[in-house]
Amino acid sequence: MDEQRLVTIPEAFLKGLERKVEGLKRLVEMSAIFSSAFDPDALISLVMEKAKIYTDAEACSILFYNKETNRLELKEGAICDDEKPSGSLQKKGTLEMGQGIAGAVAETLQPLFLEDVRDDSRFSQEADRFTGFPTKSLFALPLVGRSGLIGVVEILNPRKKDYDPEIVQQISRQFAIAIENSCFYKESVERERLKQELDIASALQKSFLPESRTFRKGDLSISAVNMSAEKVGGDLYDFIEQGEDKVGILIGDVSGKGISAALYMARFISDFRYITRHRDPSDIVLSRMNSLLSKVPRGMFLTCIYMLVDVSTGGVRLSVAGHPPFLWITKGQVKVMSVHAGPPLGMIPAEYPATTISLEKGDRLLLLTDGVFDAKDKVGQRLGFENLVRFIDTHQKERDLVNVIISYLDVFSKGTERADDVTIVELRWG
């Protein structure tokens, strides 16, 4: 029989293995925590608490790296101490790169352990003012993720000395990646939430416009198109029957784009429909709208044209509030109708003079917002009002002129994002 051989293993070696096994258990435990935490704030708080317990430290803090300022920032909720193990000290502060121990670790991306901070000239009392702790010993680790430096973890006054530094560094690497993942997840959720809200806002805004973009009464035909540069916008149009023989037509453009313009637009449409129930002339309607809009927050205004068309005679009475000229296609010509106007609504007290014109059979009116002629091509060249008028003059016999113009804009702006909302309203008489 073979004799069994006894091997003597030094006690220090065994203790080292025990520490390594214990450290690996901690690593597995922390990995499970990282993989289950999706909220960055909750993840940071939990990891700081675990790190403090693992090293039996008085406190743990994280300074985050701000790429824009190239500084380390101690934010609210980034300190875990004995008195508030799951809470935070409500303090903020910043360190320059290279300043103090944390700044040095951020610059070199190498961990530092100081048994006595007084022995290192890089230690800054500024850190103690941030944390509120008199620091005696310190373990600082860089947090480096896939995109580079995220921040620096500082373990303050650790009482446990036999932890495995390599395991701690591995934990810090996983923590850095977990922070990136949780931030990405949070941003993704926020983007999806915002997208859903914008979809809802867009649907609600469209509900303020006429259900159909075409309208006909007697010899009057109306067609319109409205396209927002973003999910929601500030352009608007409307047509409302004003008794048996009149139709009110509106086109408007709120200053700005986005949510604020959409809210302003919704407010305007609601007030406009209420005021036009009285079937007042165009100048009275715009004067009343101006008075109402002067009560909303300053900084926003609206340009518009409001006209009343008599479907029995073709007579038109209209008023303009700072809006671009409309086009009158009559007798083979395209007339640029720049009539007497008041300022945009919601700016100052003003009057809005009325202008009258008479349509003949076959006449067309084109009302549009500045997003039509402000369209740009891929080299940044603006279409311009005069070029638009020339195009319309060339294509004035097209039956579906609105869509012809839209197709022209699509070709002209191909390869670019629409910079402004686009709205066109066409009136055809006869």
pLDDT of residue 279: 92
Q: Using the predicted structure, report yes or no on whether residue 27 has a pLDDT greater than 60.
A: no
Whether 174 and 204 map to the same domain: the answer is no
Mean pLDDT confidence for 72-86? 62
- 180 & 217 share domain: no
CATH number, domain of 275, equals: 3.60.40.10
Domain tally for the chain? Answer: 2
Distance from C-alpha of 153 to C-alpha of 142, rounded to nearest angstrom: 6
Output the CA–CA distances (angstroms, integers) from residue 45 to 48, 49, 163, 175, 409, in the order listed: 5, 6, 21, 12, 53
- Comparison of pLDDT for 287 and 76, the residue scoring more: 287
Q: Does 156 share its domain with 94? A: yes
Instruction: Report residue 314's pLDDT band, with 50, 70 and 90 as the boundaries.
Output: very high
How far from 287 is each of 66, 315, 317, CA to CA, in Å?
52, 22, 15
Residues 23 and 142 in one domain: yes
Q: What backbone torsions phi and psi does residue 341 show, to the nearest 5 degrees?
A: -140, 160
The whole-angstrom distance between residue 127's C-alpha and the CA centroid of its chain comes to 35
> Is residue 404 in a domain?
yes
Range of the domain at 288: 198-429
Do 122 and 260 lie in one domain? The reply is no
350 is a domain residue: yes
Same domain (yes/no): 126, 262: no
Q: Note the pLDDT of residue 82.
A: 60
Cross-strand bridge partners of residue 95? 72
Output the domain CATH number for residue 148: 3.30.450.40
Confidence of residue 156 (pLDDT cuts 50, 70, 90): confident
Q: Which of 2, 402, 73, 8 is nearest to 214 (CA)?
A: 402
Least confident of 166-170, 193-197, 199-203, 341-345: 166-170
- The predicted model gives 218-231 an average pLDDT of 89
CB 52 within 8 A of CB 87: no
Residue 108 tokens read as 């070199």
In angstroms and rounded to an integer, the radius of gyration of the C-alpha atoms of the chain is: 35
- Asked whether residue 369 falls in the same domain as residue 284, the answer is yes
3-class SS of residue 1: coil
**Would you say 425 and 237 are in contact if contact means Cβ atoms under 8 Å apart?**
yes
Give CA–CA dist 60/78, Å, rounded.
8
Residue 288: pLDDT over 90: yes
Least confident stretch, 146-150, 181-185, 264-268: 181-185
Q: Residue 88 — very low, low, confident or very high, per pLDDT cuts 50/70/90?
A: very low
Least confident of 106-120, 198-212, 294-308, 309-323: 198-212
The stretch 46-51 carries a mean pLDDT of 74
Q: For residue 25, is pLDDT > 50? A: yes
Least confident of 62-76, 160-174, 199-213, 341-355: 160-174
- Domain identity same for 181 and 202: no
Residue 37 pLDDT exceeds 80: no
By percentage, how much of the chain surpasses pLDDT 70?
A: 83
One domain for residues 133 and 256: no
- Looking at 133, 165, 186, the residue that finishes a domain is 186
Q: Among 44-58, 204-218, 255-269, whose mean pLDDT is lowest? A: 44-58
31-69 per-residue burial string, b: 16 or more CB within 10 A, e: under 16: eebbeebeebeebbbbbbebbbebbebbbbbbbbbeeee
- pLDDT one-digit tens code per residue, 396-412: 999 899 999 999 999 99
Both 202 and 121 in one domain: the answer is no
**What is the number of other CB atoms lying within 10 angstroms of the CB of residue 341?**
20
Residue 17: predicted pLDDT: 63
Confirm whether 191 is domain-assigned.
no
4 inside domain: no
Q: How far is CA 215 from CA 162, 227, 247, 400, in A?
A: 83, 18, 10, 14
- Out of 186, 215, 242, pick the residue that ends a domain: 186
**Are both 90 and 234 inside the same structural domain?**
no
> DSSP secondary-structure letter at 83?
S
Write down which residue in 186, 221, 252 finishes a domain.
186
Amino acid 95: pLDDT = 85
Residue 174 shares a structural domain with residue 241? no
259 pLDDT exceeds 90? no
Q: Please enumerate in sequence order all residues whose Cβ is within 8 A of that of 377, keeping only pairs 6 or more positions apart, or say none.
A: 383, 412, 413, 414, 416
- The DSSP-derived string for 280-338 is --HHHHHHHHHHHHTTSPTT--EEEEEEEEETTT-EEEEEEEBPPPEEEEETTEEEEE-
> Is residue 168 in a domain?
yes
* 392 is a domain residue: yes
Cβ contacts of 57 within 8 Å, gap of 6 or more: 51, 139, 155, 156, 157, 158, 159, 160
Identify the top-confidence range among 25-29, 145-149, 304-308: 304-308
d(CA 180, CA 321): 51
Residue 259 lies in a domain: yes
Distance (Å) of CA 276 to CA 102, 175, 311, 318, 357: 67, 63, 17, 14, 21
In a domain, 294, yes or no: yes
